[in-house]
Structure 1
């Protein structure tokens, strides 16, 4: 609704009107009713005081905005008797009406008085027009009441007009969506107690927000809400299936999907699909099957490398040919390539053995830990396979290195183990 501008405000000197309005605003901020009455009576004696009373360009809006912030209904009543009737709809720089300001200040009496005054205006067909007005964030007074978690104000505004629960703000959130907060179940009870029509709810479906908060509460209240769909045609079960989780992990995953806010994936499903196109989250059944397969591979690698640690290339010194101190010692102990074989084989054995343990933990863990353990064990198994391959090449070179073919090509294997990157590099030189 458009606000009518006082003719007197346009005719008088703007500087004088601003000075007088600011002076009265300072008095109102003091919240002393006697001082305000005295100031108003003084202004009333002037030739045209309406321009001052209806001045709307103060730093905090109009005088009604300032009066609403004092939470004193007596002060507001003094001004309502003197200002233009439609000044009640004036908006400040943030789009707030006096009703928004009173709601944010938790001024129950001021809120009730503003609503009554708006309904008593002549030539107004919609008696709830003031309740439907939105600020720059798209919030109605009910939105603001839910945000400040004031149960009494929420109940009062809902009683004044139950249709307010369906209106969405600039973030596509209705009061019903904002009410989904486990920290304040009372507001949830107030807003979801009346029978709701899901087809009238604007913006984000409250049940999608409940995926992160109170899914069970809405299920017990009204199952029809689960039929609501987002702009992409998906319902809450599509959303849960997209993240491929059990119900108890939905809240955790919804918060971690986006570093900014999970709501943007509900507002714009196309952005969600684009960002996660091609991303495959392994299901519990497939993941467990992969764990079982790789666990068997890791066990075999552990067995082979363990055995190779004792059946070393070249064998061991026997008791018949070796001295007492050298009995049971590897015959190639002084060979540098043999030492490289031992290092690689030992590393492969410990990595594979550790991966076996981690794969077992992954099999027993919950879904979010299962995937982490699976990736860790897979990395360990990959390193053990590389190290085992290098150990095999060295072992072959040690045992058959004197064959003419190998002597002719003079193949030398140099293996480096880089501790920082956990990688093996093999350089083949001629």
Structure 2
């Protein structure tokens, strides 16, 4: 259809839309590879046209993550370092990293002729590594740090390395993605800027300020945890006096628990007591919370988890001691209680940021070593070929 339209009226292909885009911009946006091939071959000039956002068609393809379109457009540029957008001065690797397009980033990094793009800076001095860190694109960041040509120590115009930027983000947000970003850079060997103090006066910590939306989210988490801890304290307090089996009403043992000599009753009392006081500690921490809410949440997590775990064991022991004459019911109570305990502890371990952070960093180290082993034979062969040619 495009061929027929061009034969009838080529002037149609000189038109631009409201956003300043050419037909090639639209084809790149839609990943219309056949259309891109036709337009590039027939109207090569359109590959050099900017839209109102300052993007070339190849920038649009990188933004959308279209590898095939990017590959075709890339063939028409002998000097890829000249492919800069007009607004921020970013190259195609900057843009792919900015929008988290892992496939496009991988394709660009595998091309030897784009080595100059890897550590290139935009108008604010940010490299693709800085951009990926700022946009919290941890998959792209992982891809970049695995490349040997990426300089992890470069600073931007604010005298900040990528690690400096990542260091402020966990304090600001306290979320998993920010911690992953910081862990990836730290594992890869990134360092902080020695010039940071020049642009950031002593005592000024940009990571301390919380945006209203983030502050409300953290306050909601504090309130929810306060409710949970209070409920646990109330239930364990009541269970401490409404003991399984009740109390002796007469004789020398009047007022003592009926099941006092049962071993599982001891387990009930100990676990119920631990759960009660752990929840009280959590309530106290959350009640007098001031300042850094992230630190308060981190500090209150262990006593809440302890209270939940010991409360489940206390309930298991209480049920067991009252139905111990029914073997199958006692076994069900034990299995249920132990399962609940392991689920609570397992979720606490697996879902904590530190665990996922360590898991991710270990994965990065393993992949990096595998890539180096795979590339060593190829690099050795290239070195021998260059020596033979010389």
Shorter-chain TM-score: what band?
0.3 to 0.5
What's the TM-score once normalised by structure 2's chain length?
0.41
TM-score (norm 1): 0.38
* Structure with greater helix percent: 2
Higher Cα radius of gyration: 1
Q: Which has the higher contact order (CA 8 A, sep 6+)?
A: 2
